[in-house]
Amino acid sequence: MARILTGIQSSGTPHLGNLLGAIIPAIKLSKDSKNESLFFIADMHSLTSIRDPKSLKENTYATAAAWIAFGFNTEKNIFYRQSDIPEVTELMWYLNCITPFPMLTNAHSFKDKSSKVHNVNTGLFTYPILMAADILLYDADIVPVGKDQKQHLEMTRDMVGFFNNIYGDTLTLPQSKIDEKVMTIPGIDGRKMSKSYNNFINVFLPDKKLRKQIMAIQTDSKGIKESKDPQSCNVFKIYTLLASDGDIEQMEKNYSGGNYGYGHAKQALYELIIDKYSSERSRFNKLMDQQDLIENQLQKGAKKARIIAQSVLKRVRAKVGYKNMT
């Protein structure tokens, strides 16, 4: 049996890119009876950028609601909040003490902001070490990651090598899993869909707000009568990630045939999202209206997660030379 671990930051309600790139593929993996899945909300990572306690709490519930709404079985698997597992910060310290400083300076999460280093907090600098602790604390075998997180997973594997070389075989070496089909989800401006770019589509918005967001997708200036190239259109690129082969083929014909405007394509995308995610949108809203149910699920998951975490940390403490807690 493979143990699969996935985490997602609570930096806001998961958008379409999060759903297609991380949440839906991870839930699919969790439904395989050969797998054991641990999914967590990385609310400690979110502190590198979020300072408002109310927002952090609301974002955590919204993230949890999205996972549950899309079918993650919290009874069969383990679903928890990162900050409910204090063992992760202790393991992080042990990893801090064996990780070379230059390795962290090469991390994308740091280099992307290093031109304004005075704005880089230490949490952002050591982000890869906390991520490694998240993974190694549970003896994870497989970690589904996006292309932007691949480097951090490789750094985690390096940390395993450093630690095991010093203390002997202690930490499990994880493998990354990248879905090549949905490696990058385009946003409404054509760049990678991201909250930091404010170019995302939030499928959980009320109908009118969702439609307004989709209608804001950037396109070229070709008129309604002109033939259009679907492959260069942001609307079409997003549509192909959700639609059936037959609908995609028809949309291509609409583009090339003329007398079909971008407004028509955006409306078709809007209707597709409304239809495709109708039940998930309904479940999400019900959960957000009953956040005590979400909290209950997270607390139950934390109890199960800590059993594994404490077992691994006991092994690590013994190898380092510390007395284990009783």
* Residue 145 pLDDT: 82
| 34 has catalytic annotation | no
pLDDT band at 199 (very low <50, low <70, confident <90, very high): very high
Closest CA to 153 of 186, 184, 177: 177
| Cβ-contact 5, 36 below 8 angstroms | no
In the chain, % of residues over pLDDT 90: 80
Q: Give residue-wise pLDDT tens across range 238-294.
A: 999 999 999 999 999 999 999 999 999 999 999 999 999 999 999 999 999 999 999
Task: Kindly report the pTM of this predicted structure.
Answer: 0.90
| 54 has catalytic annotation | no
C-alpha 32/C-alpha 27 separation (Å) is: 9
Set 31, 76, 177, 195: catalytic member = 195
Q: Give residue-wise pLDDT tens across range 13-61.
A: 999 999 998 899 889 989 988 889 999 999 999 998 888 999 999 999 9
Instruction: Give the end-to-end CA distance of the chain in Å, rounded to a whole number.
Output: 30
Tokens (6 digits) for 144: 């589904």
Taking each helix axis from N to C terminus, what angle separates 291-320 and 278-288, rounded to the nearest 10 degrees?
A: 80
CA distances from 123 to 4, 128, 161, 171, 174 (A): 25, 9, 23, 23, 23
Task: Taking residues 161-178, report their average pLDDT.
Answer: 95
Set 147, 150, 192, 225: catalytic member = 192
* Residue 119 pLDDT: 77
Set 113, 300, 314, 319: catalytic member = 113
Tokens (6 digits) for 29: 């993996």
| 192 has catalytic annotation | yes
pLDDT band at 146 (very low <50, low <70, confident <90, very high): confident
Cα 281 → chain centroid: 18
